Chains A and B, each alone.
Chain A
């Protein structure tokens, strides 16, 4: 066993010290009736060579954005990831270490998290960020709990333009705390302000919208923020972090909590995970944050350094009274995002956003010109847009796959009211040639 260094001789010597003659005696405290007597039914052990061949074959049977031009988004985006990101993530000091409980031996991880928190504050305009949550959806659920705890109200009003997976996770979480998910209608691809006003009540703890929303459309955060302000509820915005390089931060529109899926920041699609959720709040909610937070301090000689802080919120101190049960962050994914943002800088990140915006608009024009597609909504959009397809979306995507594309998301899967709805995402990675060919192939499908 190549991962187990002890030799037979060493094992015998160690048993000898213990006064045992047989390793089975080490398990003498387990009732005999419980001991597993047969061998586990598992495939025979593979050598490294065999394992890699086997996994190589499994991986090769998946379609993927490395061999198909990806026009699929719906929450996970195929942005370019500079080589440096992966090289830094592969530094063993980062990936084979644990939670920075001993600050003397973890300054690297701690400082990287501090820089991450600073960057998330810069993008969202909020005062305080934590070290991350599992994903954007669970971050939204924790935001709802924070709002419920603060307002002592029970309802979370969520626009139907919020990612369906986020709403499903909220539906799972909220009843645990006796809270309720109330959905607000959409109109022309954005939150219906009239319906929102109507559904606000004295029990509304939080109002959650997404920017850009699931359809790629931009919500009018100014108007929404004004409505929320009067309600006494917390304004929670789930945002695409790349878009925040271009858009006025949600803080300017009165957001109390900004969450979101961090995958677009330098993390691969990885079939949906791991990415990370970011979670940032106004200063007054600092001590109610869920999860880890890193703070700057000094050591005994006055040298600047970093530690996990505000731990009196957390489960290992507070147990059942903790703000959350979370005991980790998606640290390596956060590191990748931090390296990514460091490389891109404010200008580079803005260019990623702008190129995605420009290319998405060209793609929508081409698709509407080439193949009888029509825009489903009129609202302004960022890097993703919804079309009405004249042909069945499943057939369309199947055809596009054979032409070398990952086609858009079939909106009718989550929104039955939009049959033929097709959600197409375009990042800076797509070239003019790919966009043109994509439009032509989509137009020709079924001919």
Chain B
């Protein structure tokens, strides 16, 4: 959509309406007789006045300014931008789900409760944990909940001295932020030359004041932590717990389970591994799973089965409590449940196989042209460095990412993980075919060619998008965060 779309407020025409209510069918009383006058609005809220046609055109045009998975390849590392099945959208919009009220009572919500119960059972089996809570609203929310559980566990044992959480230097930013929000001091642990947690550094950092370690496996380099059992032994040996960040779970579905690796607490991102749409940044869902000893600490409510009925279990005295209102992002749960039912055990295993095969194949196509700091079999994603291009022609990873837009692709995640200079983190997912990977690799190699022959061309990319290189510094220095009439 190569044209400016005005902010809706600027196209407002006084008197226009996009929705008209039926006339009030009860006897009308003066509002001032029902509510104290000083509580009533003196001026109407400043909202745009638009017709239905205006609104539809405005948001349709806005939508056309987005790139999305349905349009093309979106290899954003650690985000698992896989295809979002359409039938799951239909399922979540069934009136019995979309229009059910959370307080109508368990007895009259048996379908919803059964779905939650069965999804819990499925995720428990898939992860190898002892129990799962569907409450957390997103991955980071799951992390926070998981750390709360770790905190509650230590305190219940009367162990008040544990004030630290260990986090590898490859971790997502949410890990340290979640640990800090939960009141812990964060201690960073280095990774070794193979991209694994450095066991010596871990041994050194691990003492009886450490509550636990947060790990992503495969980690954000896309590499399986080969020494995970040693990590578990070291941490458990000093009384700490292992937290599993499920951001990269797509790689190992049906292949290896966090519970079997020694993890005590986990979260999953249903909007990644289980195909629920990202929605432009949410809503997500971040269920938390725990091992046997931590079951009492899960947030409330859980759903339990009594005979052939389902009910909410609120009576859990050791629970960390409630982490959000009601029962989690239920609409997202419906989509994940539909996905698991559609895939089955064999299908989920195929997800892991294809995600890992695609990533390794794409890595093989690119590793001649780009620096590959950790050259070993990857899992669902891999991290290249744009250092070679940066050092020779001054073309940065950001430039190459922008140039990819001109080839019709969404760029990969860039400048993350922090341990790789000029990082490009590429995650193809299983819902891409070989031919897409071939074309993408060709595009990235052409950009590398261009970076040598005509660096300016790459440095000024993108050339095909309507806006290019917004001034982010100005945006932060003089923030304009809302529409104002005088503009």
Q: Tell me whether A168 and B321 are in contact in the complex, defined as CB-CB below 8 angstroms, given that A40-B254, A320-B180 are known contacts.
A: yes
CB distance from A395 to the nearest CB of B (A): 12
A44: min CB distance to chain B, Å: 6
Inter-subunit contact B433/A6 (CB<8 Å): yes
Interface residue A256 (Cβ < 8 Å from any Cβ of B): no
Is the Cβ of A347 less than 8 Å from the Cβ of B83?
no
Checking B229, B282, B482 against A328 with a beta-carbon cut-off of 8 angstroms, the contacting residue is B282
Q: Mark B118-133, 1 if CB is under 8 A from A, else 0.
A: 0000100110100000
Encoded as 1 (CB less than 8 Å from any A CB) or 0, chain B from 275 to 311 comes to 1011111111000000000000001000000000000
Please tell me if the beta carbons of A307 and B470 are within 8 angstroms of each other in the complex.
Answer: yes
* B83 x A3 contact (CB < 8 A): yes
Contact: A114 with B176, CB < 8 Å? no
Give the residues in chain B near A111, CB-CB below 8 Å: 5, 7, 62, 65
Max chain A C-beta neighbours (<10 A), residue from B104, B354, B466: B104
The verdict on B115 contacting chain A, using a C-beta distance below 8 Å, is yes
Kindly provide the distance from the CB of A327 to the nearest chain B CB, expressed in whole angstroms.
Answer: 4
The digit string for A31-42, where 1 denotes a CB below 8 A from any CB of B, is 101111001111
Binds B, one of A55-63, A189-197, A437-445: A55-63
List of B residues within 8 angstroms of A134 by Cβ: 137-138, 141, 324
Q: Which residues of A contact B467 (CB under 8 A)?
A: 103-104, 107, 299, 303, 305
Given contacts A58-B111, A117-B481, A320-B180, contact A344 B63 (CB under 8 A): no
Question: Given the complex of chains A and B, what is the CA–CA distance between A176 and B179 in angstroms?
Answer: 10
Residue of A nearest to B27 (CB): A362
Question: Which residues of A128-143 are within 8 A (CB) of B?
Answer: 128-129, 131-132, 134-138
A94 touches B410 (CB 8 A): no
Q: Quick check: which of A11-19, A152-160, A202-210, A225-233 contacts chain B, the rest being far away?
A: A11-19
Contact present for A45 and B65 (CB under 8 Å): no
- When chains A and B are docked, how far (Å) is the Cα of A272 from the Cα of B410? 34
How many positions in chain A have a CB within 8 Å of any CB in the partner chain?
A: 202
Contact partner, A108, options B47, B64, B482, Cβ 8 Å? B64
A163 vs B102: C-alpha distance when bound (angstroms):
14
Number of interface residues of B (CB under 8 A): 198
**Contact yes or no, B41 A176, CB < 8 A:** no
Chain B contacts with A in 89-145, Cβ cutoff 8 A: 89-105, 108-112, 114-115, 122, 125-126, 128, 137-141, 143-144
Interface pair A327/B280, CB less than 8 Å apart = no
How far apart sit A6 and B437, CA to CA, in the bound complex (Å)? 11
Nearest-Cβ distance from residue B195 to partner chain A, whole angstroms: 10
Asked whether A354 is an interface residue with its Cβ less than 8 Å from the other chain, the reply is yes
A344's closest neighbor in chain B, by CB? B19
Choose, from B234-242, B356-364, B444-452, the stretch at the interface. Answer: B356-364
Most buried by A among B110, B257, B342, B353: B342
Instruction: Evaluate contact between A36 and B255: CB separation under 8 angstroms.
Output: yes
B67 close to A344 (CB less than 8 A): no
CB of A64 closer than 8 Å to a CB of B: yes
* B280 lies within 8 A of A100 (CB): yes
Q: Does B71 contact A (CB under 8 A)?
A: yes
Instruction: Out of B28, B50, B357, name the residue touching A342 (CB < 8 Å).
Output: B50
State A151–B48 Cα separation when bound (angstroms): 37
Q: How far is the CA of A357 from the CA of B60 in the complex (A)?
A: 34
Chain A CB within 8 A of B84 CB = yes
| Closest residue on chain B to residue A322 by CB atoms | B177
Interface check B419, CB cutoff 8 A: no
Q: Once the chains are docked, how many angstroms separate the CA of A123 from the CA of B405?
A: 38
B244 at the interface (CB under 8 A from A): no
Q: A10-B434, A98-B79, A406-B101 are in contact. Are A18 and B364 (CB under 8 A)?
A: yes
Find chain A residues with CB under 8 A from B38 CB. 222, 248
Determine if A378 is an interface residue (Cβ-Cβ < 8 Å).
no
A270 touching B100, Cβ below 8 Å: yes
B199 CB within 8 Å of chain A? no
In the complex the two chains form, is B348's CB within 8 Å of A40's CB?
Answer: yes
- Contact check, B47 vs A122: say whether CB atoms are below 8 A apart: yes
Mask of B166-183 contacts with A, CB within 8 angstroms, 1/0: 000000111011111111
Chain A 23-57 interface residues, beta-carbon cutoff 8 Å to B: 23, 25-31, 33-36, 39-48, 51-52, 54-57
Choice from B31, B55, B254, B346 contacting A354 with Cβ under 8 Å = B31
| B61 contacts across to A, CB distance below 8 A | 108
What is the chain B residue whose CB lies nearest that of A117? B482
Question: Contacts A6-B433, A60-B96, A274-B332 given: A29-B281 contact, CB under 8 Å?
Answer: no
Asked if A39 and B345 make an inter-chain contact with CB atoms under 8 angstroms apart, the answer reads yes
Asked whether B377 lies within 8 Å of A345 as measured between CB atoms, the reply is no
Shortest beta-carbon distance from A1 to chain B in Å: 5
- A114, B45: Cβ atoms closer than 8 Å: no
What separation, in Å, do the CA atoms of A86 and B21 have in the docked complex? 18
Contact for A62 among B55, B97, B280, CB less than 8 A:
B97
**A95 close to chain B: CB less than 8 A:** yes
Q: Residue on B with the closest CB to A361? A: B34
A199 CB–B CB distance under 8 Å: no
Given the complex of chains A and B, what is the CA–CA distance between A235 and B141 in angstroms?
Answer: 26
Pick the contact of A248 from B42, B47, B327, B483 — CB < 8 Å? B42
Point out the residues of chain A lying under 8 angstroms from B392, CB to CB: none
CB atoms of B7 and A115 under 8 A apart: yes
Known: A115-B8, A345-B18. A310 touches B45 (CB 8 A): no
Check B138–A104 contact: CB distance below 8 A: no
B19 to chain A, nearest CB (A): 4
- CB of A112 within 8 A of CB of B62, answer yes
A418 within 8 A of B: no
A181 to chain B, nearest CB (A): 11
Q: Does A268 contact B (CB under 8 A)?
A: yes
Chain B nearest CB from A216 CB (Å) reads 12
Q: How far is the CB of B206 from chain A (nearest CB, A)?
A: 19
Contacts of B4 in A (CB 8 A): 303-304
**CB-nearest residue of chain A to B471:** A297
Cβ contact of A63, chosen from B41, B109, B252, cutoff 8 A? B109
Q: Contact between A319 and B325 (Cβ–Cβ < 8 Å)?
A: no
Complex contact A165–B70 (CB within 8 A): no
Q: Which residues of B contact A185 (CB under 8 A)?
A: none
Interface contacts beyond A30-B255, A333-B283, A345-B17: sample of 17 additional A-B pairs, CB < 8 Å, sorted by A: A36-B128, A62-B110, A72-B103, A76-B103, A78-B99, A99-B281, A108-B65, A109-B66, A115-B483, A172-B322, A245-B44, A271-B327, A273-B324, A315-B140, A325-B144, A342-B47, A431-B25
> What are 16 of the A-B contact pairs (CB < 8 Å)?
A4-B430, A62-B109, A72-B103, A72-B104, A90-B89, A93-B64, A95-B68, A102-B401, A117-B482, A307-B472, A325-B144, A332-B283, A342-B48, A345-B47, A354-B31, A358-B34
- Among all A-B residue pairs, the 3 with the closest Cβ atoms: A272-B326, A45-B344, A59-B96
